[in-house]
Structure 1
């Protein structure tokens, strides 16, 4: 819905960033990861470009990975899926649509 609302308001398809794929924060284990499943669904169903960021792995067979800074900077819609410590350094932009599914923006505690 957020993607469609963005498209209707701006007249263009959004760039969506999925931030995190790991099973839990600050690890590289993607097995049984809900975040990986969500990112896969977003890629399959999105009409615009989707950026995938997982800072704890260097490559993935199904996704082209973006750095945290690049993904956040380019995205119109940011989905925070995993509360990685590295994401805490993000300079948040009030002009972005942000969906915080992991509590990253609410408190910077582990």
Structure 2
């Protein structure tokens, strides 16, 4: 099944934390529970955790179980609000992006 479609219907995304999955979650405004495997995913998960758009299992407080993390993500509106703000910020940057400047830079 198409991940983008599933995320458009989801309230929570449990992921390893690859950049594509994180960007799809942000664009669909779905908070994430990250269970990273690779070093890149670990870094991504810490960034997501610090931005408070999700929770990582990596280096998190041991007092919080996976069930408690899921409950927090589903019931704490802060995560949904933060991911909404980040999505708006990204979309505003995309609207301001001037592809001609990038092409000029590449051609030099």
TM-score where L is the length of structure 1: 0.29
Structure number with higher relative contact order (C-alpha < 8 Å, ≥ 6 residues apart): 1
Which of the pair is proportionally richer in helix?
A: 2
Which of the pair is proportionally richer in strand?
A: 1
Larger radius of gyration: 2
